[in-house]
Amino acid sequence: QVQLVESGGGLVQTGGSLRLSCRASGRTFSTYGMGWFRQAPGKEREFVAFIDWSGGTTYYADFAKGRFAISKDNAKNTVYLQMNSLKPEDTASYYCAAGNTRALITTARRYDYWGQGTQVTVSS
């Protein structure tokens, strides 16, 4: 069992930055692939970024490339999402997820555990 708790969301102006954190419980955190997703009101949950169990492989949605960076600290059981150059369209609830796999996963249904989400609001 893995429990995930996100933090770091908030209100930021266009062009600003935020760093989201997701702390996991459980001794097997280091073996899980981790992802970030987001969901805006009235829209489906969409993939943002993925990092594999070792932290050596990352993958991003096109809208996140060059602006967002995912990282993982296995010693702290924490995964991060650094978000720069934020835009109003980035406004959403952001969720981290853990998947018990070493494969790259970008679809929500393949993740096993989810956090409760943290709200990011970007004002214009």
Residue 31 is predicted with a pLDDT of 85
Say if CB 47 and CB 107 are below 8 A apart.
yes
Closest CA to 44 of 103, 109, 99: 109
Tens of pLDDT, residue by residue over 51-64, are 998 889 999 999 99
Instruction: Kindly provide the b/e burial profile for residues 45-82, where b requires at least 16 CB atoms within 10 angstroms of the residue's own CB.
Output: bebbbbbbbeeeeebbbeebeeebbbebeeeebbbbbe
Question: What would the pLDDT profile of 59-107 be if each residue is shown by its tens digit?
Answer: 999 999 999 999 999 889 999 999 999 999 999 999 999 998 889 999 9
Instruction: Provide the pLDDT for residue 81.
Output: 98
Give the separation between CA 54 and CA 58, rounded to whole angstroms.
Answer: 10
